[in-house]
Every structure is written in structure tokens, then in C-alpha cells.
Amino acid sequence: MKNIRMYLMTLLVLLMFTMSSCELVGDIFEAGMWTALIIIVLIVILITWLFRKLRR
């Protein structure tokens, strides 16, 4: 059990030094932005397609 705790503490310290929280949060928001943009474009295409189908 002591080996596991030491391993986890070492991993935690390594992560603290290699990834800043601001960078992580920024990456998450950037991924969310691209996902939202793709969904919005797909919805606009779907609405346009539906209007064209209904007008005929």
C-alpha cells in the first residue's frame, strides 16, 4: 500500500508541474466551442433542408 501511495503522489506532482490548470480549462473550452459550432452548422443545414422540402 505504501508503494501505491508513493506512486500516486509522484504522479500528482508530475501532473502539477507539467499541466497548468488554465491550459487544461482553455483546451476544454476550445473543444466545446468547436463542438457547438459543428452542431449549430448542422442545425442550420437541417432547417434549410426542411424549408426547401416544405415549399415544394
Instruction: Look at residue 42 in the predicted model and tell me its pLDDT.
Output: 96
pTM for the predicted model, two decimal places: 0.54
Taking the chain (56 residues) in runs of 10, the rounded mean pLDDT of each run is 77 74 76 92 96 89
Angle at 49 between CA 35 and CA 36, to 5 degrees: 10
- Enumerate the domain spans of the chain: 23-56
What pLDDT is recorded for position 16?
Answer: 73
The CA–CA distances, whole Å, from 50 to 16, 19, 22, 43, 56 equal 50, 46, 42, 10, 10
